[in-house]
Amino acid sequence: MTITIRDVAEAAGVSTATVSRALRGLPNVDETTRAKVKAVALSMDYVISPSASRLASGRTGSIGVVTPQVAGWYFSTVLSGVEAVLQQAGMDLLLMSVGDESSPVPRNLVAPRLNRRVDGVITIALAPQDAQLQSVLSLHLPTSLIGAAIAGVSTAGIDDVAAARTATQHLINLGHRRIAVITGAPPGEFFTAPHARYLGFTDLMREAGLAVDPALETRGYFTIAGAESAMTKLLAERERPTAVFAMSDEMAFGAMRSLRNHGLHPGRDVSVIGIDGHDMSELLDLTTVAQPVQELGGIAAEALMRQIRSDDGQVPTHVQVPTQLIVRGSTAPPAN
Partner DNA sequence: ATGAAAGCGCTAACAG
Partner DNA sequence: CTGTTAGCGCTTTCAT
Residues near a copy of itself (CB under 8 A): 2, 47-52, 54-55, 60, 62, 69-73, 75-77, 79-80, 83-84, 87, 92-97, 112-113, 115-117, 224, 253-254, 256-257, 279-280, 283-284, 294
Q: How far is the CB of 38 from DNA (least distance, A)?
A: 12
Report the alpha-carbon distance of residue 264 to residue 21 in Å, rounded: 69
Of 57-86, binders to DNA (CB under 7 A) are: 57-59
**Residue type (1 letter), 20:** S
Report the alpha-carbon distance of residue 150 to residue 323 in Å, rounded: 21
For DNA, the binding residue among 35, 39, 44, 52 (CB under 7 A) is 52
Nearest alpha-carbon partner for 145 in 322, 28, 320: 320
Name the residue nearer to a copy of itself (CB basis): 51 or 336: 51
CA 31 centroid distance within chain: 43
Nearest alpha-carbon partner for 304 in 113, 73, 66, 16: 66
112 interacts with DNA by CB under 7 A = no
For DNA, the binding residue among 13, 106, 112, 175 (CB under 7 A) is 13
Q: Determine whether 148 is exposed, middle or buried from the number of CB atoms within 10 Å of its CB (0-12, 13-18, 19+).
A: buried
- Say which entry of a copy of itself, DNA, none residue 79 contacts (CB below 5 to 8 A, set by partner kind): a copy of itself
Q: How far is the CB of 303 from DNA (least distance, A)?
A: 23
16 interacts with DNA by CB under 7 A = yes
Report the alpha-carbon distance of residue 187 to residue 326 in Å, rounded: 25
- Say which entry of DNA, a copy of itself, none residue 229 contacts (CB below 5 to 8 A, set by partner kind): none
Q: How far is the CB of 192 from a copy of itself (least distance, A)?
A: 22
DSSP strands (E only) in the chain:
62-67, 92-97, 120-124, 143-146, 154-158, 179-183, 217-219, 243-246, 271-276, 287-290, 318-321, 324-326
- Say which entry of DNA, a copy of itself, none residue 6 contacts (CB below 5 to 8 A, set by partner kind): DNA
Name the residue nearer to a copy of itself (CB basis): 256 or 272: 256
Report the alpha-carbon distance of residue 243 to residue 175 in Å, rounded: 10
Number of residues that bind DNA (CB under 7 A): 31
User: What string marks each residue from 213 to 232 as x (binds DNA by CB under 7 A) or -?
Assistant: --------------------
- Say which entry of a copy of itself, DNA, none residue 18 contacts (CB below 5 to 8 A, set by partner kind): DNA
For DNA, the binding residue among 10, 11, 33, 161 (CB under 7 A) is 33
- Say which entry of a copy of itself, DNA, none residue 24 contacts (CB below 5 to 8 A, set by partner kind): DNA
Which residues make Cβ contacts (< 8 Å) with residue 187, sequence separation at least 6? Answer: 194, 195, 198
Which residues make Cβ contacts (< 8 Å) with residue 214, sequence separation at least 6? Answer: none
Q: How far is the CB of 294 from a copy of itself (least distance, A)?
A: 7
Binding window for DNA (CB under 7 A); candidates: 45-53, 192-200, 220-228, 323-331: 45-53
Specify whether the CB–CB gap between 114 and 121 falls below 8 A.
yes
Q: How far is the CB of 320 from a copy of itself (least distance, A)?
A: 22
Name the residue nearer to a copy of itself (CB basis): 58 or 209: 58
- Say which entry of a copy of itself, DNA, none residue 27 contacts (CB below 5 to 8 A, set by partner kind): DNA
Nearest alpha-carbon partner for 319 in 146, 152, 195, 174: 146
Q: Determine whether 27 is exposed, middle or buried from the number of CB atoms within 10 Å of its CB (0-12, 13-18, 19+).
A: exposed
Specify whether the CB–CB gap between 324 and 290 falls below 8 A.
yes
336 interacts with DNA by CB under 7 A = no
Report the alpha-carbon distance of residue 94 to residue 180 in Å, rounded: 41
Q: Which stretches of the chain bind DNA, using CB under 7 A?
A: 2, 4-6, 13-18, 20-21, 23-24, 27-30, 32-34, 46, 48-49, 52-53, 55-59
